Structure 1
């Protein structure tokens, strides 16, 4: 087998990333067990996924459907948990509903209806997160915070979905205080919704650059790609 320095380094990168999570949790008086590491494997080959799997990683995030399907089809490990974290087109909902365990980017009722309709009955309900456009960016997907509750009510009634929480991608290039302001708004929205919808517990927020702020603001899922798999 040929030597691949990136694959050789993935276990070390995973350990460093988990250490960052542990230290951020310690600084915020949280348990590391409360924060899921989602390894974002988009654009990376299946061999990279397997290298991470061999070091204990089980949750993987994919943005691009065809790229993800190639990995899912050929992956020898059937206990991987696949998360779809890209934009959802209507004509792709049938495949996403059949092939993924989680969807992080639900932002409108039409897509929710189609995901529920197409989820195969022999599978457990699809776990979904609603994407919130927390920084009100014109060019970014996600529901406005003011419209969140109406969408939550619609999604929560669909039979083949379980609404588990919220996801956001704050505006890039902001100061830490602005990052934390956005993350705190997300945490407050999650807490408010949780009182009426007990399944809404998850907060998918935080990437390599803002992991510490996200964990301090009670993120439960951090999405890390480059720090584990190298630059794209």
Structure 2
């Protein structure tokens, strides 16, 4: 097994142990392997190890990998998650190429995704990004704004509102990590209990990364986004790859 394959197994073992510790079924938590800055060859190694869902932050880079990896989809389609910021004038890349987008925090962005989603593709799976802990460097709506945005997004055609996503600021220990993720879970429960039209599939909490996935799982996360834990440390470019779109 390759190093990436070993890493994936290690992350799956962590997920299983965390689920056992809080009485959850490991199948209730899915791993999204965050492949940003790693090339298509690294993703192929992960696919050979059984991984099928990948997260990308840089849209143009992600689209290039999606195209490069179409040939490995004979065993079933790969699933591509946009987990980076989506500017309104870059929505076409997401709408045309990705299966999920976790970072919707404005109605304008959601409307453009809805308008630009090709009719031959299934609805785009959408999570609303919430800045639960008020981190000054983090995107996302405030908890107070989440209900109104969810109500509007849920009614848009060609989108399927699935849940909430959060990226809290780093916390020093398990208890502090859990406390923030638990706030996201509480908000998720509030929105689901509201019974809004178009929210029949509202079942997803995208919380937790390499450093805090255990706390996120204890709080109820259903998708954990793990990059360095799968692919190793990454070297960032001096500036993100250029984002292009033809509107």
Normalised TM-score (structure 1): 0.95
1:155 aligned onto 2:153: yes
Distance 1:145 1:215 in 2: 20
Structure 1 residue 129 displacement after superposition = 0.2
Please name the residue that 1:114 is paired with.
Answer: 112
Please name the residue that 2:91 is paired with.
Answer: 93
Please name the residue that 1:4 is paired with.
Answer: none
Please name the residue that 2:22 is paired with.
Answer: 28
- Alignment partner for residue 61 of structure 1, among 47, 55, 65? 55
Structure 1 residue 139 displacement after superposition = 2.1
Q: How many residue pairs were aligned?
A: 226
1:39 aligned onto 2:33: yes
Q: Deviation per CA, 1:8-54, whole angstroms, max 9, x where unpaired? A: 30111111110000000000100000000000000001011111101
CA-based RMSD of the aligned residues comes to 1.1
SS at match of 2:127: strand
Paired residues of 2:171 and 2:177 also in contact (CA < 8 A): no
Please name the residue that 1:77 is paired with.
Answer: 72
Q: Deviation per CA, 1:117-139, whole angstroms, max 9, x where unpaired? A: 00000000000000000111222
Structure 1 residue 171 displacement after superposition = 1.2
Structure 1 residue 95 displacement after superposition = 1.4
Distance 1:145 1:174 in 2: 23
Structure 1 residue 174 displacement after superposition = 3.5
Structure 1 residue 221 displacement after superposition = 0.3
Structure 1 residue 180 displacement after superposition = 1.3
Structure 1: gaps (5+ residues): 1-6
Distance 2:214 2:62 in 1: 28
Structure 1 residue 69 displacement after superposition = 1.3
- Alignment partner for residue 139 of structure 1, among 137, 140, 144? 137
SS at match of 1:77: helix
Distance 1:174 1:158 in 2: 39
